[in-house]
């Protein structure tokens, strides 16, 4: 893959226009997901039910944009028979649209749960840890989209490496929640919902990582195959040792 080929224009200019359009729609989608996530976390922290409801509704636009991006990508494949870097741009765009749509769903789920959480006992310590986790995930998502548009595999690689921190924070939140729920059954309702919020954030971190990997694929033609360290220890977690 070469910078040269990416900067050169196609002889058929409408091909460039179509490639630019589909990526512009993808970026608009990315912007809406970032806003949705940020609003969902604000709604959670500030117990703002109205903001939460607006955030849930806003996800529909993200879904519509995903449809648009996928239709445009399919049209380019059918009509332009893209090859090499063009093919990889279209395939990466298609995959990233999927990952953004999933991320949007996770943000919507956080917003929904924040409505229930607003009516339960507050667990400030956990909410703060989740806000910290959210900040990391937001910056990963923004960074991954930025790396994609700049075709920057080094930036993408550093995003991949940051996912371990998100997983580690998730582990901490998971354990803290267990402790709170064991201490006082009144914490179980907000605790369960906050756990899902943390899990949603952890999943968005995975999608941001996936987006970063698409940038590496776009530039190099190959997906990174080295396994990232798995930091999620919760599958084996019990209350016994507590």
Do residues 114 and 40 lie in contact, with contact meaning Cβ atoms separated by under 8 Å? yes
Segment contacting other proteins by CB under 8 A, of 8-16, 65-73, 180-188, 193-201: 8-16
Among 4, 78, 229, 236, binds other proteins (CB under 8 A): 4
Largest Cα–Cα distance of the chain, in whole Å? 68
Q: Degrees (nearest 5) of the Cα angle 196, 103, 207?
A: 100
C-beta of 177: minimal distance to other proteins in Å?
Answer: 43
Q: Does 20 sit near other proteins (CB under 8 A)?
A: no
Shortest Cβ 85–other proteins spacing (Å): 6
Helix axes 188-220, 124-150, angle to 10 degrees: 10
Place of tokens 């944009």: 65
3-state secondary structure of 140: helix
The DSSP line for 87-111 is HHHHHHHHHHHHHHHHHHHHHHHHH
- Rounded CA-CA distance 65/21 in Å is 12
Q: Which is nearer to other proteins, 85 or 110 (CB)?
A: 85
How many residues would you count in the chain? 242
Q: Is 37 in the site for other proteins (CB under 8 A)?
A: no
Which of 24, 67, 182, 221: binder of other proteins (CB under 8 A)? Answer: 221
Binders of other proteins among 83-102, rule CB under 8 A?
83-88
Candidate ranges 2-10, 58-66, 96-104, 173-181; the one touching other proteins (CB under 8 A): 2-10
Part in contact with other proteins (CB under 8 A); list of ranges 121-129, 177-185, 220-228, 233-241: 220-228
CA separation for the pair 76, 17 (Å, rounded): 11
Query: Which segment (29-37, 92-100, 204-212, 217-225) binds other proteins by CB under 8 A?
Result: 217-225
Binding piece for other proteins, criterion CB under 8 A, among 20-28, 99-107, 141-149, 214-222? 214-222
Decide if residue 153 touches other proteins (CB under 8 A). Answer: no
Q: CA 65 to CA 38: how far, in whole Å? A: 19
Residue 95: closest CA among 18, 207, 187, 172: 207
Q: Could you say whether residue 196 binds other proteins (CB under 8 A)?
A: no
CB of 5 to other proteins, least distance (A): 4
Q: Which residues contact other proteins by CB under 8 A?
A: 1-2, 4-5, 8-12, 15, 81-88, 220-222
């Amino acid at each position: 893959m070469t910078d040269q080929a990416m900067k050169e224009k196609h002889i058929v200019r409408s091909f460039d226009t179509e490639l630019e359009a589909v990526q512009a729609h993808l970026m608009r989608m990315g912007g809406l997901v970032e806003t949705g996530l940020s609003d969902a976390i604000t709604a959670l922290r500030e117990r703002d039910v109205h903001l939460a409801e607006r955030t849930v509704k806003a996800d529909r636009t993200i879904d519509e944009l995903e449809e648009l991006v996928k239709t445009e990508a399919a049209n380019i494949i059918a009509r332009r028979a893209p090859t090499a870097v063009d093919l990889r741009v279209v395939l990466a765009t298609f995959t990233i649209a999927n990952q953004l749509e999933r991320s949007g769903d996770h943000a919507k789920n956080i917003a929904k749960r924040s409505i229930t959480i607003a009516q339960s006992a507050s667990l400030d310590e956990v909410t703060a840890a989740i806000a910290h986790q959210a900040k990391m995930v937001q910056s990963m998502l923004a960074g991954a989209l930025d790396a994609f548009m700049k075709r920057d595999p080094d930036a993408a690689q550093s995003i991949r490496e940051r996912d371990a921190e998100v997983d580690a924070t998730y582990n901490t939140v998971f354990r803290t929640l267990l402790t709170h729920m064991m201490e006082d059954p009144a914490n179980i309702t907000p605790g369960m919902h906050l756990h899902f919020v943390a899990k949603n954030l952890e999943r968005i971190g995975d999608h941001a990582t996936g987006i970063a990997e698409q940038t590496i694929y776009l530039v190099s033609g190959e997906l990174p195959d080295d396994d990232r360290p798995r930091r999620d220890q919760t599958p084996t977690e019990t209350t016994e040792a507590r």
